[in-house]
Structure 1
Amino acid sequence: MGAPLFGVVSMRRPPRATATCLRRPAGRPRGRRRPFLEPRPAADYVRPRSCSLRRVSHALPPMPRSRTTKPLRPRKPIAKVEKRRGRSRVWVWLKRLVIVGVVLGLLGLGGLAGVFWYYGRDLPDVASLRSYEPPQTTRVLDRHGETIGEIFRERRTVVEMERVPRVLVLCVLAAEDADFYQHEGLDYPGIVRAVLRDLKEGRAAQGASTITQQVVKLLLLSPERTLSRKIRELILARRVEQELTKDEILHLYLNHINFGHGRYGVQEAAQYYFGKDVEELTLAEASLIAGVPQAPARLSPRSHPEAARRRQAFVLRQLEEKRAEYWPDLALEDIEAAREEEVTLIEREGPEPEGAEIMALVRRELRDQVGEEAYRRGGFTVHTTLDLELQEAGREALRDGLEAVDRRQRYRGPLRVPRRPRELEPVEALRSGRVYRAEVTGTDDETGTIHLDVGGHAAVVDLADLTRYNPEGLAASAFAPVGSRARVSILRAGEEGEPAEAKLELGPQGALVVIDPRSRDVLALVGGYEGGPGFDRSRQAVRQPGSTFKPLVYALGVQQRRFTPATLMIDAPAVYDRWRPQNYETWRHEGAVRLREALARSINLVAVRAIEEVGPDRVVELARQLGIATDLDPGLGLALGASGVRPIELTNAYATFAAGGRWAAPRFITRIEGPAGEVELPEREAPRDVLTPEEAYVVTSMLESVASEGGTARRAARLGRPVAGKTGTSNEARDAWFMGYTPNVVAGVWVGFDDRRPIGRRESGGRTALPIWMDVVAAAEEGEPVIEFPRPSGIVTAEIDPASGLLAYEGQEDAIEEVFLEGTVPTETARPPDVADPSTFLMEQFGGAPGTDEDGGDEGAEASP
């Protein structure tokens, strides 16, 4: 039997194959996966020369080689293999870096997108910048266009870009952002430069905000310095650039930036520093203020002139360096001339003009008409009826008059050091507007305040308000010794643990009103000595008018045809239900006296008899028609001014007499111009005819006698022009008045203490209030021609007997001319002396003899029957 085809197969276990080509590479252990991106060992790339089965019998003969089998290539040299391995490693690492870079870039972009998405939520709408309405200054002007005052949160006046001169635009760009018209909201090179400099100096040494970013920070975001706000700023800056043009962005910036001293925007800066409009600025002036916004507190030309000039030099240097690149048409000669120009600032503003009273009224009226939100935004121009020059003259006249009272009454100030101090009465709770007695417990010279004990409550007074009695500017400790006593009024009750705000009662106060009788424009409105905000006595004080109310009683009698100026009235003592009215000089009585003379001498008893005849209720009705809105007691004491009135109301009632009997409401504001156009004012109350021109003329004629020889206001004749008016003094001289008018102007003056103390011995309307009235009317009439009160056609004149009021007899030498309404002229003629004795005539008419006293007075009454 022949041999097997593949030989004899041994039954023994064959030896283990030793072929090295089947060994597992040493670089990678069995069972371990190759990590991601780990290069394969070099041995894996080498082709083995032979291979054999792992477990094949060694006895097998070699297999015959096929004819088609190709011989293996010879193995490459080791050097070439190592070189190839090196190149492979480089490419592997390059691939690795590229992949890592791509992954990190994707992660960075994703993170950046996430950050911008997160901080980009709920951002302000940049489209709102198109309706730019920043807080602006509201200006209050007098009738001649002079500024009375301003109302503002930020003192700003928005101007259009057409008004901003090119030199100012270039200076601002040079100072803040020369590349403004080249970048798209973010200056990337500038950001890099700023970061490098900050790193170099170890602090925030240089900013990199563009004008666009500053607009975002000013108008859309808060000023806080945080990373989140900065990211929002970057996002919004790009959005703003996409929404607005460069000129629109620059317009917002120029009108909004701070130029120091509470001035915002280029127009306010030009007015404050140079007293001119923005379009009038020169290159030197523009370069000076363009450097201020970077640090208004440190670069103000007014408070830090040297720093401002250094900043100006920087701006001009920037202009020169950037000129060839950005504004080649700017001549170097102009820049050099700006360097040499001496820039002069206007003088510092003085104290605010007079007009605190009208300012308070404007604030209230403006709020009512435009609403609180628009009022806060401002930007209005309010034209008032006030004459600023006359307002200042009125304040000065009132102060002079009050200081004259101080001298006459030896009033040396509000503080007294008592010899035997009494314990202050405890007060349960302090109320605003009330007057209390207080004791000085301490002072603070640094803050200029006086500390008080007011009935067990702490209060503080600001010494700055006491210039009237502290003209030398003494310190608080020198002005107010500890332990001294004073009368104070409470301005504001203190919160828990805080002292109340108070002011010292500074002696007599006053009020003054001046009105144009034709238009009823209020020309002057003075509410007190100080002239600051607070209680306006001209519109708010309710005081007893004394005898200044009498013309209303006589006007009603004239209207009823009961009285004429020639009507005889009895000046004699009378008692009304336990009330006994008296004249100012109680021991004098005129007996029978004509109504004109009774008014001129202010005889109280005649006025009481007159109101008794015409009816107190009817007098109240007439007062209402004349615009007096305060509560009036319809008693006989009303004739003597027992009921309180406001100065503005009584002055306007007299303006009705001056205007021929036609009443109209006083006017303070003529028009209001706002950012959106003219504001519609509330319709004024319709004028009404209260008296006929003839009746009003008769009253005016009677009031002229008050200012003539023998009247209580006879010194008013020194004005040298027709004057009609009436003095008034309440009981114990607690109030002193004078109401009067000329053909051109009506004025009313009141003087008194706020807590109704007597003004002082021998003070009266003629002595206390009339001089103030004369000073302000003289200022109002300065340069005006002298004219007479116009006489209506329904007025007739007749000569009468001064003793009886009847027509004068033929040839009577002491006859006087009197005015009458048509149909009211006396029909009887007086008897000549040789025909009948005047005493007999009076006995027949009144049943008694006339009194022999010669002069009357001016006294009010506290109560009516």
Structure 2
Amino acid sequence: MTSPKASRDRTSPSLRTRRPLASVREHSRARRGRPGVWRWIGRGLIALLVLVIVAVLGFASVIAYYSRDLPDVASLRTFQEPQVTRVVDRDGALVGEIFTERRTVVPLERVPRVLVLSVLAAEDADFYRHEGLDYAGLFRAVVRGVLDGGNFRGTSTITQQLVKNLLLGPERSWERKIRELILARHVEEELSKDEILGLYLNHINFGHGRYGVQEASQFYFGKDVSELTLAEASLLAGIPQSPTHLSPRTHPEASRRRQRFVLDQLERKREEYWPDLTVEDIRAAREAHVELAPLPESRQSAPEIMDVARRVLTERVGEEAAQRGGYVVHTSVDRELQLATREALRTGLRAIDQRSGMRPPIRRARVRRGERMPEIDRAPELRVGGTYDAVVTSRDDETGTIALEVAGHPATARIADLARWNPEELPPSRFVDEGARLRASIVALAEEGVEGARARARLELGPQGAVVLIDPRSREVLALVGGYEAESGFDRARLAQRQPGSTFKPFVYALGIRSRRYTPASIVIDAPGVYDQWMPQNFETWSFAGEMRLRDALANSVNQVAVRLIEDLTPAEVVSFAQHLGVTSELDPSLALALGASEVRPIELANAYATFAAGGRWAAPRVVTRIVGPDGRDVPLPETEPPRDVLTQAEAYVVTSMLTSVVQSGTAQAAQRLRRPIAGKTGTSNEARDAWFAGYSADLVAVVWVGYDDHRSLGRRESGARAALPIWMEVMRVAEEGRPVIDFPVPSGVVTVRIDPRSGQLAYEGQQDAIDEVFLEGTAPSEVAREAGVLDPSAFLMEQFGGGDAPAPEQVLAP
């Protein structure tokens, strides 16, 4: 039998291991709880790791995606900002500027420290500390962008601004901002801080079309950027935030507030960033009064020279490089002389306006009772530069415009363009009547696709003109004026082809002298002649003088003599000779060529006369004398034809001597008022459609043309002597001012003998009215004239038996 103790011992093991029920439950909860917490922690860590991996992969994917096709930041090392190309005159004075963006690049070393610090204070104080990105500012911009529906704006570093302006563009979007951030880091790796800052300072917009610190300094303060004070620099540094609204010229108060902000930033961050800048300097700048420079005057003084410079530059460097700019184009023009020449032309044209009664109000055209107003000629389309019949349809004083129907098309003219004929500044309603008939030229065509658009026109109420002034030795063009208006347009001096009238006659006479068949003393008959139903008239005299010397025929512009001369020399030879003198316009080889029936350009005529003045040596005229590239190297100029001798110096002198008679005793005697030796020729085409004077002194050549663009008559009383010569005289007066009076030098190969003025033969002994005449060696007359009253037996016999005088063949050309 089992004892109780044994019984207790058998159950004791289980009893010893058994716990109270509450303890067991607590223990069970503890065992279950500890593994659960760790399990959740583990899961959280795994999830976090996955999120980090996903974020990293996502970020990497975004970077990889937006890094595709990014601009090459290495190109910034060779990036050339669009710059101003300057055109200067012979003395380096500015004539004009060519630019897409008005900018002059300067090295960072030329930018004063006060401007650098002001820009940093205004835009990016940490520029030299960060690596292209302001992370705090970026975070703020992202938050604002999300809250603002994707409109991202905010703090950008200078590097980011440079990337946006030079590589990406101003678009506001997530995509552009991400690309900007990527590129900013790349730029910081590629360029040094100074290189980045230098690009930025030369690129930023300062308003009024000025880009970069140099142009801004010149525009606002009239000084080089290196000369800026702290007050000026802080004012300038505040503009780029909003050039339109912070310009000190248009918004002085806003500009001043922005300047104070920049100075406050300088003072607040001085100790941390730029301790060398003293508080006293900043406070002095805050109190300083900044004086703005006067607005620069319009430099559109020589649009003709600018057009030539632009064309030559483009030909030499290409369209892309020319637009990029940065060149200096040196020209032969004298800027002050250019201005004076245009003013002389304007004065002369206004005088013609007064003589023709061209004064407002311009009245409605009158018709007889019972008759209808004839309709204006209509054109299928208008072209820029074309001149058409027009009628005034309405006038608007508020806008200062005149509505027109031009050849059947609507157009508008501005009263401001009519200052030449409107000195009293009358409004359109008082300037011209509705229904007035007149002529108008097209300045710009109507914009296509715009309903109600009208062409822009200009009323052509008076004549136009052109002037060319050349140095005959160097062939440098000193002045080139192609019209009344000082604005780019049709350059009549280089492009207009007009009949030269009698200014062409010296070419015929010069060929006669060169042929040795004629001398200034040769006798030619001025008598009526009919040439294939054409009968030239002497418009200057409306009479015929009979026998006359060649010199007198040229001085008095006798048409019949010129025609007889070209008939003998042949028109084809005259054409060839004129081409050797530099006339490139097409010439008709007819007898009428002697009277200037073929059209030429003013600059061609001027350079041909310069060949006479230069002793018979032709050379191409020059306007552009040198081009300096942005790198300081010279750009090769276009090759020109080599100079050539068209006449000997002796031949050229004889022609010049004959042309001095035009001034001394012929159609240009008014030029004697210049009180220096002058050679030249007047010219008037049929019905006075063109008026010319071409002439020269020993050191200057000038040609003046006056006429209507549509070939209307200047008026029956107008001529080269009346319309063109006064302009020429004023141009030469200004150009010759201060120059010594020089006579035309007499070269070797020229002899002077005394002759009888009636026969052209040698003067007889004791002849009182004998005159001196110049001849090429070997061409002087050998026979002595007979004394007046002494009967010539051969002449007596011829007269008695039906002969009359029989002049020698070399003295007379029969019609």
* TM-score for the superposition, normalised by structure 1: 0.86
> Structure 2 counterpart of 1:662, which letter?
R
Matched, 1:150 2:106: no
Shift of 1:337: 2.6
> Structure 2 counterpart of 1:458, which letter?
P
Q: Distance in 1 between matches of 2:796 and 2:608?
A: 38
Q: Evaluate the alpha carbon distance shift between residue 798 and residue 509 of structure 1 in structure 2; reply closer, same or farther with a 3 A threshold.
A: same
Shift of 1:111: 2.2
Q: Match for residue 335 of structure 1?
A: 282
Shift of 1:837: 7.9
Whether the 8 Å contact between 1:380 and 1:674 is mirrored in structure 2 is yes
Q: Distance in 1 between matches of 2:677 and 2:389?
A: 46
Q: Kindly provide the CA deviation profile for residues 791-846 of structure 1, in whole angstroms up to 9, marking residues without a partner as x.
A: 102111111111221111222222211111111111111222353489969998x9
Shift of 1:750: 0.5
Q: Match for residue 52 of structure 1?
A: none
Q: Match for residue 639 of structure 1?
A: 594
Q: 1:489 aligns with which of 424, 433, 441?
A: 441
Q: 2:53 aligns with which of 106, 111, 122?
A: 106
> Structure 1 counterpart of 2:277, which letter?
L
Q: 1:523 aligns with which of 478, 482, 485?
A: 478
Residue 634 of structure 2 aligns to a residue whose secondary structure is strand
Q: Evaluate the alpha carbon distance shift between residue 84 and residue 707 of structure 1 in structure 2; reply closer, same or farther with a 3 A threshold.
A: same
> Structure 1 counterpart of 2:378, which letter?
V
Shift of 1:739: 0.2
Q: 2:410 aligns with which of 458, 471, 487?
A: 458
Residue 532 of structure 2 aligns to a residue whose secondary structure is coil
Whether the 8 Å contact between 1:380 and 1:672 is mirrored in structure 2 is yes
Whether the 8 Å contact between 1:439 and 1:483 is mirrored in structure 2 is yes
Gaps of 5+ in 1: 1-61, 851-864
Q: 1:115 aligns with which of 59, 62, 83?
A: 62
Q: 1:723 aligns with which of 663, 678, 688?
A: 678
Matched, 1:500 2:451: no
Residue 525 of structure 1 aligns to a residue whose secondary structure is strand
Q: Kindly provide the CA deviation profile for residues 535-592 of structure 1, in whole angstroms up to 9, marking residues without a partner as x.
A: 1111111111111111111100100011111112222222222211111245432222
Q: Match for residue 79 of structure 2?
A: 132
> Structure 1 counterpart of 2:702, which letter?
A
Matched, 1:403 2:350: yes
Q: Evaluate the alpha carbon distance shift between residue 721 and residue 377 of structure 1 in structure 2; reply closer, same or farther with a 3 A threshold.
A: same
Q: Match for residue 513 of structure 1?
A: 468
Q: Distance in 2 between matches of 1:352 and 1:464?
A: 19
Q: Distance in 2 between matches of 1:103 and 1:205?
A: 30
Q: 1:706 aligns with which of 662, 671, 677?
A: 662
Q: Evaluate the alpha carbon distance shift between residue 147 and residue 779 of structure 1 in structure 2; reply closer, same or farther with a 3 A threshold.
A: same
Whether the 8 Å contact between 1:442 and 1:452 is mirrored in structure 2 is yes
Residue 467 of structure 1 aligns to a residue whose secondary structure is helix
Shift of 1:154: 0.7
Residue 799 of structure 1 aligns to a residue whose secondary structure is strand
Matched, 1:430 2:375: no
Q: 2:137 aligns with which of 167, 183, 190?
A: 190
Q: Distance in 2 between matches of 1:256 and 1:216?
A: 11
Q: 2:218 aligns with which of 253, 261, 271?
A: 271
Q: Match for residue 441 of structure 1?
A: 393
Whether the 8 Å contact between 2:300 and 2:487 is mirrored in structure 1 is no
Q: Evaluate the alpha carbon distance shift between residue 843 and residue 493 of structure 1 in structure 2; reply closer, same or farther with a 3 A threshold.
A: farther
Q: Match for residue 739 of structure 1?
A: 694
Q: Evaluate the alpha carbon distance shift between residue 410 and residue 475 of structure 1 in structure 2; reply closer, same or farther with a 3 A threshold.
A: closer
Q: Evaluate the alpha carbon distance shift between residue 313 and residue 521 of structure 1 in structure 2; reply closer, same or farther with a 3 A threshold.
A: same
Shift of 1:258: 0.1
Q: Distance in 2 between matches of 1:70 and 1:332?
A: 91
Q: 1:687 aligns with which of 643, 646, 668?
A: 643
> Structure 2 counterpart of 1:471, which letter?
P
Q: Kindly provide the CA deviation profile for residues 50-103 of structure 1, in whole angstroms up to 9, marking residues without a partner as x.
A: xxxxxxxxxxxx999699999526454766766777666655554444343333
Q: Distance in 1 between matches of 2:149 and 2:460?
A: 60
Q: Distance in 2 between matches of 1:74 and 1:121?
A: 72
Matched, 1:784 2:739: yes
Aligned residues with identical type, % of pairs: 63
Whether the 8 Å contact between 2:363 and 2:432 is mirrored in structure 1 is no
Shift of 1:373: 1.4
Matched, 1:208 2:134: no
Shift of 1:187: 0.7
Q: Evaluate the alpha carbon distance shift between residue 350 and residue 759 of structure 1 in structure 2; reply closer, same or farther with a 3 A threshold.
A: same
Q: Kindly provide the CA deviation profile for residues 306-365 of structure 1, in whole angstroms up to 9, marking residues without a partner as x.
A: 211221111122112222111112233322332233221111122233111111222222
Matched, 1:176 2:123: yes
Q: Distance in 2 between matches of 1:838 and 1:608?
A: 33
Q: Match for residue 327 of structure 2?
A: 380
Whether the 8 Å contact between 1:572 and 1:589 is mirrored in structure 2 is yes
Gaps of 5+ in 2: 1-6, 807-814
Alignment of 1:260-299 (within 5 A): 260-299=207-246
Whether the 8 Å contact between 1:568 and 1:594 is mirrored in structure 2 is yes
Alignment of 1:29-108 (within 5 A): 72=17, 74=19, 76=23, 91=38, 93-108=40-55
Which of structures 1 and 2 has the bigger CA Rg? 1
Shift of 1:428: 4.7
Q: Evaluate the alpha carbon distance shift between residue 251 and residue 414 of structure 1 in structure 2; reply closer, same or farther with a 3 A threshold.
A: farther
Whether the 8 Å contact between 1:661 and 1:695 is mirrored in structure 2 is yes
Residue 285 of structure 1 aligns to a residue whose secondary structure is helix
Q: 2:766 aligns with which of 811, 828, 832?
A: 811
Whether the 8 Å contact between 1:839 and 1:849 is mirrored in structure 2 is no
Shift of 1:478: 4.4
Q: Match for residue 549 of structure 2?
A: 594
Q: Evaluate the alpha carbon distance shift between residue 239 and residue 414 of structure 1 in structure 2; reply closer, same or farther with a 3 A threshold.
A: farther
Matched, 1:543 2:494: no
Q: Distance in 2 between matches of 1:695 and 1:413?
A: 52
Residue 743 of structure 2 aligns to a residue whose secondary structure is coil
Shift of 1:292: 0.7
Whether the 8 Å contact between 2:234 and 2:263 is mirrored in structure 1 is yes
Q: Kindly provide the CA deviation profile for residues 583-628 of structure 1, in whole angstroms up to 9, marking residues without a partner as x.
A: 1245432222111111111111111122122222111110010111
Q: Evaluate the alpha carbon distance shift between residue 692 and residue 843 of structure 1 in structure 2; reply closer, same or farther with a 3 A threshold.
A: farther
Matched, 1:758 2:713: yes
Q: Distance in 1 between matches of 2:793 and 2:259?
A: 94
Shift of 1:212: 0.4
Q: Select the structure that is richer in helix.
A: 2
Q: Match for residue 11 of structure 1?
A: none
Q: Distance in 2 between matches of 1:237 and 1:247?
A: 15
* TM-score for the superposition, normalised by structure 2: 0.91
Whether the 8 Å contact between 2:377 and 2:389 is mirrored in structure 1 is no
Shift of 1:698: 0.3
Q: Distance in 2 between matches of 1:299 and 1:780?
A: 46
Q: Evaluate the alpha carbon distance shift between residue 455 and residue 767 of structure 1 in structure 2; reply closer, same or farther with a 3 A threshold.
A: closer
Q: Match for residue 798 of structure 1?
A: 753
Q: Kindly provide the CA deviation profile for residues 21-44 of structure 1, in whole angstroms up to 9, marking residues without a partner as x.
A: xxxxxxxxxxxxxxxxxxxxxxxx
The farther-off stretch of 618-627 and 69-78 is: 69-78
Q: Distance in 1 between matches of 2:670 and 2:330?
A: 36
Whether the 8 Å contact between 1:416 and 1:486 is mirrored in structure 2 is no
RMSD of aligned Cα (Å) = 2.9
Whether the 8 Å contact between 1:288 and 1:309 is mirrored in structure 2 is yes
> Structure 2 counterpart of 1:214, which letter?
Q
Q: Distance in 1 between matches of 2:144 and 2:349?
A: 67
Q: Distance in 2 between matches of 1:518 and 1:380?
A: 28
Whether the 8 Å contact between 2:152 and 2:172 is mirrored in structure 1 is no
Residue 169 of structure 2 aligns to a residue whose secondary structure is coil
Shift of 1:702: 0.7
Whether the 8 Å contact between 1:413 and 1:506 is mirrored in structure 2 is no
